[in-house]
Structure 1
Amino acid sequence: MLDLRKVNHVIEIARQGGFAKAAATLNITQSALTRSVQILEDHLGIQVFERGPRGIRLTREGEEFIEGGTRLLEEAATLERFARSARTTERGRVRMGAAPASFRLFWFEVLPTFAARYPGIEIATTAETVDEISAQLQSGDIDFAIGSLEALRANGALQVENIANLAVSPFVRRGHPLDRAEEPSFEELLAYPMVGPSPADPHRQLMNNLANACNAPYSVPHLVVDSFSLSLRIVERTDAFSFAFSRYAAAPEFDETFRVWHGWEPVPPLPFHIATRTGWNRTAAAKPLIEMLEQRIRRLADDAPV
């Protein structure tokens, strides 16, 4: 394998027109430089320089070697710059997912801030079902995912870490038959269709069990929607109910449109996770984004109404 340092020695000799000037530029002795060239010529089996009373001259093979060696050093320098920048936040690529898909709302505030702070980092996002996110993590199509990912703990190829437990609250439109300060029972709620994403574990079984116990006329959820904003529009225009993270539902403008019951006990807080491939190390590009997301989610948990 070629020693790039020796390649650089040959190029510098050709550039300076002699061993003495090149040795001074390279800050090595002339004898060491001569030995370096001899080793390289022996390794390649060619003569790079012809030595004569008037100095040195490149052979035909030497000229071709200088041309190829210059390209080689330029490419090596490019690779070194790339590796150096990959160890920093100057550049890089981050691919992340969310599941259920409606949980992408958690990066709406974080991503604009991250993109402004780290303009050299490329970001790709996807929001899918838990099963689809699991497949993309295992295939390497995404680096990490956030959301309600309890179901992935059974997969040995994936690592799931709990970030926070987020309180959830049921809500209906103002003017709904249940629009009252008194909290409804689950039986009362389940008399109406539910709109929202596919129930996330560990709430999936709880919701189904309660629906069966109440002989609910609707499946849970009855209207499967992967967009939180679309869920709001449906609830606002129908008698359907839905759930929102309590911190979002605490906004004054939310209360103007919807009746929210905070601290509703039948449904416990929802565990929020980050999932990665087992053994995956956070890259320099991914690390600050994950930290910003974790801080955002934990802040929502801390600020949730009680």
Structure 2
Amino acid sequence: MVLTSNALIESICCEKLIVITYRQLQHALSLFKNGNFTRAANQANISQSAFSRSIGNLEADLGVTLFDREHQTVTPTRYGEAFIRRAADIVNNTEELRREIDLMRGLNVGEFCVALGMYPAQVSGNAALGKMIRDFPNLRYRAHTGNWQTVNEYVLNRTVDLGFAAIEAATLEDGLSIEKVSEHQMVVFCRKEHPLATNRKPSRAELDQFPLVSIRVPAGLAEAIPGQSDIDVESGHLVPSVEIDDFSTARMLVSQSNAIGAAIPSQIESELESGELILLNFQNPWIAPVHGFIFLKNRTISPAAEVFMETVLKFEQTAREKNKSLIEKYLKS
């Protein structure tokens, strides 16, 4: 008789009563994801020796080797592959059960997890989250900030309840639903000592001579972005010469070099007021990516997520007015 990989684990567990803890399941999944005991132990926030004992005890209880340790990267054995599949299902189902119970208990307990794109985070997302923390201090919060790709991944793999980011790529994902929130015109900026600072209306050719500090740009907007960059052949995404996922880093790099950057004006308001950064009048009006809420289809939106969405919409009205006034004030014709 030939056993399938799942049947291998079932046959082992049927031979004797085996008690596997939830923590051991998480440790096995972490080791599979990281491929390294040190990184997996750090992620689990325990010592490497304790983590190794956890995996060793699990293998001893099962009577099989789950991970091949002979190479630099730890890889699952045939038994390990079957175990990882079942462990992932159990952990995901447990997290969903915990989430459903928290939904029933309301806004005074539980956890709200959100992923924010680096542009909408600074425009309205961070302010909305701050207000929620004031209004509902008993909730636990987890906030991730990154590019639009990271936001989509976090929503799809259920790491977060809700995403708030550029929605162009999310519209192509069958498993995602979106709700449009806003469009904010973006601007090209540089430091006041930049070679183009005296030419406030540079051409595309002139801008293309300088490094671009940016997140990776979706294919639909790639052609509109100036500066040194490449196009990813498979996806069509624009890959800037200086790729970042945090706007504070982008702001600092542009202020300390001859690179150029792209921003929603309110993100650099204080630097514009001080004169440290200036706007370059490139194709005014320029791009205005659509930002919106991103969530899983057929998954109930939590009360906390609904409150966050409502709060963002309130902050967005003020943000639109501010960005319009900043463009009128600082973008020289």
TM-score normalised by structure 2 residue count: 0.57
How far 1:141 moved relative to its partner?
A: 1.9
**Structure 2 counterpart of 1:182:** 200
Task: Provide the C-alpha distance between the structure 1 equivalents of 2:288 and 2:313, rounded to a whole number of angstroms.
Answer: 17
> CA separation in 1, counterparts of 2:317 and 2:216?
23
Asked if 1:285 is matched to 2:304, the reply is yes
Q: Does 1:297 align with 2:297?
A: no
Query: Do the aligned partners of 2:212 and 2:226 also contact (CA within 8 Å) in 1?
Result: no
Residue 298 to residue 261, structure 1, CA distance change in 2 (3 Å)? farther
1:158 aligns with 2:150: no
Letter in 2 for 1:105: Q
Q: Give 1:257 shift.
A: 0.3
Query: Are positions 1:195 and 2:213 aligned together?
Result: yes
Instruction: Note the residue ranges of structure 2 that are not aligned, 5 or more in a row.
Output: 1-99, 231-237, 329-333
Q: How does 1:1-306 map to 2 (within 5 A)?
A: 86=104, 88-99=106-117, 101=118, 103-106=120-123, 107-180=125-198, 182-200=200-218, 202-207=220-225, 221-251=240-270, 253-261=272-280, 264-265=283-284, 267-305=286-324, 306=328
Q: Distance in 2 between matches of 1:116 and 1:151?
A: 33
* Equivalent AA in structure 2 for residue 303 of structure 1: K
The higher-RCO structure (CA 8 Å, 6+ apart) is 1
Cα shift readout 1:270-305 (whole Å, capped 9, x = no counterpart): 211211111233222221112212322343223223
Question: What is the CA distance between 1:152 and its match in structure 2?
Answer: 1.3
Moved more, 236-245 or 225-234: 225-234
- Once residues 139 and 132 of structure 1 are traced to their aligned partners in structure 2, the CA distance between those partners, rounded to angstroms, is 11
Separation (CA, whole Å) in 2 of partners of 1:238 and 1:85? 48
Q: For the Cα contact (< 8 Å) 2:212–2:240, is it kept in 1?
A: yes
Are the aligned partners of 1:167 and 1:268 in contact in 2 as well (CA < 8 Å)? yes
Shift in CA distance, 91/190, structure 1 to aligned 2, threshold 3 Å: same
| Counterpart-to-counterpart distance in 2, 1:175 and 1:94 | 43
Contact 1:180–1:259 (CA<8 Å) still a contact in 2? no
Question: 1:236-259 deviations in whole A, cap 9, x for unaligned?
Answer: 111101011023344465551011
Specify whether residues 200 and 245 from structure 1 end up closer, same or farther in structure 2 by C-alpha distance, changes over 3 A only: farther
**What's the secondary structure of 1:108's corresponding residue?**
helix
Change (3 A) 1:84 1:278: closer
Structure-2 change in CA distance of 1:259 and 1:283 (3 Å): same
Compared CA separation, residues 131 and 259, structure 1 to 2 (3 A): closer
Alpha-carbon distance in structure 2 between the residues aligned to 1:302 and 1:256: 21
Q: CA deviation at 1:183?
A: 1.6
In our comparison, the structure showing a higher alpha carbon Rg is 1
Q: What is the TM-score normalised by the length of structure 1?
A: 0.62
Aligned residues: 218
Q: How big is the shift at 1:143?
A: 1.0
The answer (yes or no) to whether the contact 2:189–2:278 under 8 Å persists in 1 is: yes
> CA offset at residue 180 of structure 1?
2.5
CA contact (8 A) 2:272 2:278 kept: no
